[in-house]
Amino acid sequence: MLHINDLTYHIEGRLLFDKATLAINKSMKVGLVGRNGTGKSTLFRLVKQDISGDDGAVNIRKGVRMGSVDQEVPSGPQTLLDTVLKADKERASLLEEAETATDPNRIASIHTRLADIDAYSAEARAATILSGLGFTHEDQQRACADFSGGWRMRVALAGVLFSNPDILLLDEPTNYLDVEGAVWLEAHIRKYRGTAFIISHDRDFLNNAVTHIAHLKGGKFNIYTGGYDRFENQLAEQQRLNMALVGKQEDERRRLEAFVTRFKAKASKAKQAQSRVKRLEKMAPIATIINDPIAPFDLPSAERRLSPPILRWDEAALGYEDKRVLSRLTLRIDPGDRIGLLGKNGQGKSTFAKSILGLLSPQEGYIRRHKKLRIGYFAQHEIDALNLNHSAYDHVRELMPDATEAERRARLARFGLGHENAETKAKDLSGGEKARLLFSLISFHAPHMLVLDEPANHLDIDSRAELMKALNDFDGAVLLISHDRNLLESVVDRLWCADKGTIERFDGSLEDYKQLQLDGDKSDKKKKTNTKPTAQDIRRTAAEARAKLAPLRKELKRLESSIDKARTRIAKIDQELAAPGLFTRNAEKAIALGQERSKLEKSIDTSEMRWLDISETLEAAAAAAEPVSVQSRLDGKL
């Protein structure tokens, strides 16, 4: 499906890909991992042919449809449902042509193709995808322009999934999703019949959604079978074996050097010594996997703990003007609490965070906070609020006006911002570097509590591991909102859930919550509406039924043909077996013919049973469709 052959590419003088080769075959789900800045997003641009490599080639099989989420998210007056439906360009084009086509043969061809691509169930499929990504039925009828950029990114993702391309390219698809959306997407990718190539730093997603891991390191790819945990184990084992080989190679090198040193002056040993010199020259070093050091996060804790509780909500209600978002809040946070806040987007998590920060007063009830409480707040909009024309050093200088330059740079270094990027303007920093800068700023005054809203979105997996260590070492309270289940499981010890207009404690594990979401998705699919169908609904239902039955009718004809061929072959075998003296002349052939006849008889029995099952299914469907046909005729008369 996708072959990258000896790809070489430089960017601003830096070598990103060095004769890199990677092959992705049909139906593979490949997760692309690697440190920030190694070129993962650049690779996608090369695959989409937005840019060209310096050497080598990126080859995609002819006729293969590729889908990815565009940088420009959809907006405008169109409803979300219509926007997603239009993403399937073939379906939209065929429907448009069907309105004007006059040639009966072309009309038949159009409707056959529409049935092949399951076009008649398109609205239901699009609605299911939007629902899985967090959009209610009411949301789906609203205009794209009504939603924020993050929500419109979800619409763009829904459109790509609905278009069902042969190769799906996704760059950090869970970044704009909550836990519920990430769980749904994970299940959707697992069932996806096409090929998927996904950049992700979400360990749980990579463990559950992909079949292979492509590791980008040093400008080259290595591919591993399985999810991320298996890849990590394989990498560690490869490191261990390579280090053992290095030890053996060094022993051999020392032995050869000792022999050469000892005997090179002796004529009787000169040839042997020269031979060992050549072996030393040809001895290539074993390629070892060097674990590049990753900069830590240093989150200083307050010198003294506050007395509990540091925050308490007493029958509090939160909202904006006349709009009530959360009610019946009776909660408390103590020093050292580790809380994970779950809930679909739009259920009030951000509103609750504002009440913690003192940016929102309760409409009812009380919010009591410790008067000395200091809070560090991390959120995407806080990253966006950085002064883009200031360097990391400029930001720290504003907080440390009386400090020496060495002290300021030491502060940045504690968060992995060394001399090479300390002077870089914020607008030119990578997402991971901006996140590190923000962590440096919010922890500057040693807060008693951290409120973190998706803090890992721009961090690679190794940086996330360092963040986990820092949060576990932090002595204050933590409230964490994240779709990264591995981060949640590693940091928090209890869960709260925002749902149905309130926030309550969730008595269960994150795995219990995930299963609850999956079970809820299944139950939603089973629900049936009691509304009376319109004539258009009836015709659509009939068309969908015909489209679903078409493969069965096709299989029925195939079975009939297979049975006829088998019976014809049996008749010929019987003629050969009836030949006089066959068993005497050629016993092996006679036995082989008898075995073939037995297999054909069994295949006929199997095919006939399947034929009967399909026939009964088709007859039952025809009987069930009869009332629809009658209703359609009545509607036509009316």
Name the phi and psi angles at 169, rounded to 5: -105, 120
pLDDT value of residue 380: 79
What gap in Å lies between CA 490 and CA 508, rounded to an integer?
A: 15
DSSP letters for 305-365 = PPPSPSEEEEEEEEEETTEEEEEEEEEEE-TT-EEEEE--TTSSHHHHHHHHHTSS--SEE
> pLDDT confidence of 313, banded at 50, 70, 90?
very high
> Element (H or E) spanning 192, and its range?
none
Superfamily of domain 311-524: P-loop containing nucleotide triphosphate hydrolases (3.40.50.300)
Closest CA to 313 of 365, 235, 253: 365
Closest CA to 366 of 324, 318, 320, 334: 318
pLDDT in tens, 587-615: 778 778 888 888 888 888 788 777 777 77
How many alpha carbons fall within 13 Å on the CB side of residue 330? Answer: 2
More confident residue, 285 or 508: 508
**Radius of gyration in angstroms for the set of CA atoms belonging to the chain, rounded to a whole number:** 33
> pLDDT confidence of 448, banded at 50, 70, 90?
very high
pLDDT in tens, 111-162: 788 777 777 788 888 899 998 888 888 888 988 888 877 788 888 899 899 8
pLDDT value of residue 116: 75
Assess whether pLDDT exceeds 50 at residue 629: no
DSSP letters for 56-71 = EEEEE-TT--EEE--S
Return the number of other C-beta atoms located less than 10 Å from residue 407's C-beta: 11
pLDDT value of residue 635: 47
User: For the ranges 163-177, 284-298, 601-615, 619-633, which has the lowest average pLDDT?
Assistant: 619-633
Closest CA to 510 of 346, 352, 341, 397: 341
Closest CA to 67 of 134, 144, 139, 2: 2
What gap in Å lies between CA 452 and CA 378, rounded to an integer?
A: 5
Q: Please give the CATH architecture assigned to the domain spanning 67-165.
A: 3-Layer(aba) Sandwich (3.40)
Q: Is 473 left (phi over 0), alpha (psi -120 to 50) or beta?
A: alpha
Return the number of other C-beta atoms located less than 10 Å from residue 504's C-beta: 15
How large is the average pLDDT for residues 405-411?
81
What gap in Å lies between CA 67 and CA 169, rounded to an integer?
A: 6
Q: Give me 375's structure tokens.
A: 């809070």
Q: Give me 578's structure tokens.
A: 């009836």
For 319-334, letters b (16+ CB in 10 Å) and e give beeeeebbbebebebe
> pLDDT confidence of 627, banded at 50, 70, 90?
very low
How large is the average pLDDT for residues 327-356?
91
Assess whether pLDDT exceeds 50 at residue 372: yes
Q: Which burial class, exposed, middle or buried, applies to 336 when counting CB atoms under 10 A from its CB (0-12, 13-18, 19+)?
A: middle
Q: Give me 632's structure tokens.
A: 């359609």
How large is the average pLDDT for residues 429-444?
84
Collapsing DSSP states into helix, strand and coil, what is residue 495? Answer: strand
Best-predicted range by mean pLDDT among 96-105, 297-306, 446-455, 522-531? 446-455
Domain residue extents for the chain:
67-165, 244-282, 311-524, 535-637
Return the number of other C-beta atoms located less than 10 Å from residue 159's C-beta: 24
DSSP letters for 112-165 = HHHHHTTGGGHHHHHHHHHHHTT--HHHHTSBGGGS-HHHHHHHHHHHHHHH--
Q: What is the DSSP letter of 448?
A: S
pLDDT value of residue 210: 92
Domains 311-524 and 535-637 share a fold: no
Does the structural domain 535-637 have CATH classification 1.20.58? Answer: yes
* Residue 348 C-alpha from the chain's centroid: 25
Q: Work out whether strand 375-378 and strand 449-453 pair parallel, antiparallel, or are unpaired.
A: parallel
Q: Work out whether strand 494-499 and strand 338-342 pair parallel, antiparallel, or are unpaired.
A: parallel
How large is the average pLDDT for residues 346-374?
91
Q: 611, 560 in Cβ contact below 8 A?
A: yes
Return the number of other C-beta atoms located less than 10 Å from residue 373's C-beta: 19
What gap in Å lies between CA 205 and CA 552, rounded to an integer?
A: 36
pLDDT in tens, 224-278: 999 988 888 888 777 777 666 666 667 767 776 776 676 666 555 555 666 666 6
Collapsing DSSP states into helix, strand and coil, what is residue 38? Answer: coil
User: For the ranges 2-11, 258-267, 523-532, 589-598, which has the lowest average pLDDT?
Assistant: 523-532
What residue type is 54 in one-letter code? D
Q: 201, 460 in Cβ contact below 8 A?
A: yes
Q: 317, 361 in Cβ contact below 8 A?
A: no
Q: Is 336 left (phi over 0), alpha (psi -120 to 50) or beta?
A: left
Return the number of other C-beta atoms located less than 10 Å from residue 315's C-beta: 12
pLDDT value of residue 537: 56
Reported residue count of the chain is 638
Q: Which residues are within 8 A (CB) of 44 and not within 5 positions of it... i.e. 6 or more apart?
A: 68, 169, 171, 197, 199
What gap in Å lies between CA 23 and CA 144, rounded to an integer?
A: 38
What pTM value is reported for the model? 0.66
More confident residue, 266 or 369: 369
Assess whether pLDDT exceeds 60 at residue 67: yes
Assess whether pLDDT exceeds 90 at residue 391: no
Average pLDDT of every residue of the chain: 81
* Residue 69 C-alpha from the chain's centroid: 13
Assess whether pLDDT exceeds 70 at residue 282: no
Assess whether pLDDT exceeds 80 at residue 329: yes
Collapsing DSSP states into helix, strand and coil, what is residue 75? Answer: coil
Q: 195 forms bridges with which residues in the sheet?
A: 167
Q: Which residues are within 8 A (CB) of 334 and not within 5 positions of it... i.e. 6 or more apart?
A: 308, 309, 310, 477
| Percent share of the chain, pLDDT over 90 | 20
